[in-house]
Structure 1
């Protein structure tokens, strides 16, 4: 990658709008992740579903998975059900008559390949950022959310 140069001095940044910068960062990162997932043949919600099933070899109830994920980037239940159906149609998950969904061998293999690629993408996103700076940034954003009465979570 090319060298990064800050476009604003610290004095200029102190008056910059956090809403703009947090939104711009979120959009750029999510776009980068979604591009990688598309190259691997998945949507972001499909990736979330596959990852929710990895620690559950016997599967999980569909409604439980939807309940956990429906707040992620405000995806909603309808889109999640659609993505679960698409994974089923591709043979990446199974669903029994009780509504338990589970990874197939193909689904487990794809999830593992994407997880490996995701490590490289995370390294790209975090290039030049220490763990301490990353944690500090998240704590600042969490505090700002709290200060304005918002709520955010990530499971």
Structure 2
């Protein structure tokens, strides 16, 4: 890396790095899932069922944040059932044998991507980064503009 590139990288604000990291995480995970004929939503449902059968309502509620509109859940569920990945026995969902294989293969790809993601970062550094991001979210999560004052230190 050239000196100018290093200087430019250092001066980029945290928002840049958060957006770029989010973009890369989504892009790489979507690539990994697509290679197993899964979408992010299908992965979330199959992964939720990996430990055993669950009620459809519980899965829907647990993943509610990810649905952009009310029609997504029934469409995704119907697709998973039609493709033979999930069985629906009166509202009790479970992975089929094919669903288990599809999930497990995707899990291996995702585990490898997560290892790549954290390469060169110690467990302590990773935990500290997560704690720092969590704290930033907590700091901004409940602070309306009127409560924001002058910064106490440079960020």
Tell me the TM-score normalised to structure 1 length.
0.79
What is aligned with 1:91? 84
Q: Deviations over 1:58-105 (max 9, x none)?
A: x21111101101224x655532332222111101111123x1111111
Gaps of 5+ in 2: 143-155
2:71 — aligned with what?
Answer: 78
Aligned residue pairs, count: 141
Give the match for residue 66 of structure 1: 60
Please give the alpha-carbon distance, in whole angstroms, between the structure 2 residues aligned to 1:27 and 1:79: 23
Deviation, 1:135, is 1.1
1:103 equivalent in alignment to 2:99:
no
Which of the two has higher C-alpha Rg?
2
CA root-mean-square deviation: 2.5
Which runs of 5 or more residues in structure 1 are unaligned? 151-155
Kept after mapping to 2: 8 A contact 1:93/1:102: yes
How far apart are 1:6 and its partner, in Å?
A: 10
State the shift of 1:123 in Å. Answer: 1.5
C-alpha separation in 1, matches of 2:60 and 2:110: 22
TM-score computed with the length of structure 2 as normaliser? 0.79
Stretches of 4+ moved more than 4 A in 1?
74-77
Q: Is the 8 A contact 1:92 1:105 kept in 2?
A: yes
